[in-house]
Structure 1
Amino acid sequence: MSYFDNIRTFVRVYELGSMSAAARDQRISAAVASSRISQLEEYLSVRLFQRTTRQLNPTEQGNIYYAGACKILEAIEDAESAVNSITQSPRGLLHVAAPLGVGRRLIAPLVPEFKQEYPLIDLRLRLSDRKLDLTAEGLDVAFFLGVPEDSALRIRKIADCPRVLCASPLYLEARGVPVSPGELTDGTHDCLNLRYPGAPEFQWPLQTESGTHKFAVKGPFETDDGDVLTNWALDGQGIVLKPVFEIAEQLKTGALIPVLQDTPPIPIQMALLYMHRRHQDPKTRLFIDFMVDRMQSALSAT
């Protein structure tokens, strides 16, 4: 297995462009990752990477070897998937990513049940509100809210999630209740914004009498963590746009109060992304079917 471990490490170093990043991804030390690459280079009698103190670039031989290495790993995955399918004992490791709110409230509570039903499948769940690259980050499945940009990936829709504009009683008492969407753009009210590197400008799509319009909202705070936005809103710092399922309890208790209900936000799509070949893997297919079914039930109950 050591040779295949070396190939896997090489592929991740190539894709991530960093020995240390590949080591973290593989859960090994940087020294082990470097040793594996050196073993491959010695075996092949070529240099796979040009190393400097700041950069790690593949050589021409490295580019050629990467294409072949991917085919080798895909062939192994296909063979393992075929065996698992016949034996009805899917096994292996799944790398899954999800936005913080979706992961904490919907996915994480279901993981123990999935593990109990499929004890030979292990799962690595990564939660982040930033945009993720399935290929570069070695992910099997990525849940998301919104519309994906990469059309080369397969999409499995889960649901259209209602959203709400809301604020705390403390904020509304101090600043007043907004009566029109224009107050979100002219500085009358503070809006709390979710933003991460590469995110588009803040525009909240609201349903008006003349159709859907996007409002370029303004506010002093922004973050890449959706739960931080919720905490700021609860603390009276501004108006927030949130999926209802994320703040259902706060809405129920009155800790957050809906505003501008005559011009509500349009629902946001919840779905998952995967590469076509990965769906052929029994463990990936089982995980997707399991999660979609239970998440749809949970969302319909909110």
Structure 2
Amino acid sequence: MAYLDNIQTFVRVYELGNMSAAARDQRISAAVASARISQLEEHLNVRLFQRTTRTLNATEQGHMFYRGACKILEAVDTAEAEISNVTMTPRGSLFVAAPLGLGRRVIAPAVPTFKAQYPLIDIRLRLSDRKLDLAAEGLDLAFFLGIPEDSTLRIRKIADCPRLLCAAPAYIARRGMAESGEALVRDKHDCLNLRYPGAPEFQWPLQTPDGVRRFSVHGPFESDDGDVLTGWALNGHGIILKPVFEVADYLATGALVPVAKAEPPVPIQLACLYMHRRRQDPKTRLLIDFMAERIQTALK
């Protein structure tokens, strides 16, 4: 297994371009990661990386070995998946990501139940509203709202998630009710937006009598945490665009009320993304099936 460990570490160093980052990803020390690369280079009798105090770049032999190393790891994954299918005892760790709202309300509460059913599978959950790179961050799968940009990923659609615009009664009392997308822009309503590195410009797609239209909206606050936006809205600071399930409790109590009901936002796709080579992994399929059922129930 030592040689396989060395190959796994090499692949992560290559993909992340940083020894320390790869070590953290592998849950080992930087010294151990460096030693594994050195052992691999000694075994192959080539230099895989050119190292300086500030940079680390793969050599020509490193690029060549990476392609073969990925095939080796994929073959091992496939073999383990076949054994798990035969023995019906899927095991190992799954590194999973989800948006904050979905993760906190649906995914995280269901993890202990999944673990009770499949005690040999460990879940490592990461919650974030920012755009994630599955390969670079060592993720097995990610639940996702929207349309993925990376066409190399496999995608399983779970549901179309209805959304709405809403605000606190205090905000509406102060600024008035926005009845349409045109009113949002014309009256310069305070629209609270999700912003993270690489996020697109703020345009809210609404279903108008003339079809879907995108409205460029602005506001005084923005955050990369969707729950922070909800908190601001609850305190009367503006209008938010949210999946209905995230704000259903606040709508039921009247803490938030719908805005521009005649022109609701376009529903957003809720899906699961995973690396192509993970498609045969039974524990990946088990988790996706398990969570898809709970997500669909939560959206009803």
TM interval, short-chain normalised:
over 0.9
Tell me the alpha carbon deviations over residues 262-294 of structure 1, each in whole angstroms, 9 at most, x when there is no partner: 111111111111233312111111111111122
> How does the TM-score come out when normalised to structure 1?
0.96
CA contact (8 A) 2:179 2:262 kept: no
> In the alignment, does 2:218 pair up with 1:215?
no
- Secondary structure of the residue aligned to 1:185 is helix
> How does the TM-score come out when normalised to structure 2?
0.97
Query: Which residue of the partner structure matches residue 128 of structure 2?
Result: 128
Tell me the alpha carbon deviations over residues 91-144 of structure 1, each in whole angstroms, 9 at most, x when there is no partner: 111111111111111111111111111111111111111111222222211110
Query: Which residue of the partner structure matches residue 75 of structure 1?
Result: 75
Superposed CA RMSD in Å reads 1.2
CA contact (8 A) 1:186 1:218 kept: no
Unaligned residue ranges in structure 2 (runs of 5+): none
> In the alignment, does 2:241 pair up with 1:241?
yes
- TM-superposed CA distance for 1:187, in Å, is 5.2
**Number of residue equivalences:** 300
Amino acid at match of 1:237: H
Tell me the alpha carbon deviations over residues 147-194 of structure 1, each in whole angstroms, 9 at most, x when there is no partner: 111222221111111111111122112222223322322453110001
CA contact (8 A) 2:179 2:261 kept: no
Unaligned residue ranges in structure 1 (runs of 5+): none
CA contact (8 A) 1:187 1:219 kept: no
State the distance in 2 between where 1:38 and 1:186 align. 63
State the distance in 1 between where 2:282 and 2:124 align. 17
State the distance in 2 between where 1:119 and 1:111 align. 11
Query: Which residue of the partner structure matches residue 256 of structure 2?
Result: 256
State the distance in 1 between where 2:77 and 2:62 align. 22
- Secondary structure of the residue aligned to 1:109 is helix
Query: Which residue of the partner structure matches residue 61 of structure 2?
Result: 61
Query: Which residue of the partner structure matches residue 5 of structure 2?
Result: 5
CA contact (8 A) 2:168 2:255 kept: yes
State the distance in 2 between where 1:85 and 1:216 align. 50
State the distance in 2 between where 1:95 and 1:225 align. 21
> In the alignment, does 2:278 pair up with 1:278?
yes
Amino acid at match of 1:220: P
Tell me the alpha carbon deviations over residues 55-75 of structure 1, each in whole angstroms, 9 at most, x when there is no partner: 110011111111111111111
- The correspondence of residues 160-171 of structure 1 with structure 2, limited to 5 A, is 160-171=160-171
- Secondary structure of the residue aligned to 2:119 is coil
Query: Which residue of the partner structure matches residue 183 of structure 1?
Result: 183
> In the alignment, does 2:140 pair up with 1:143?
no
CA contact (8 A) 1:11 1:69 kept: yes
Tell me the alpha carbon deviations over residues 25-77 of structure 1, each in whole angstroms, 9 at most, x when there is no partner: 11112222112112212222221111122211001111111111111111111
- Secondary structure of the residue aligned to 1:191 is coil
Amino acid at match of 2:120: L
- Secondary structure of the residue aligned to 1:57 is strand
- How many percent identity over aligned positions? 72
- The correspondence of residues 5-44 of structure 1 with structure 2, limited to 5 A, is 5-44=5-44
CA contact (8 A) 1:184 1:218 kept: no
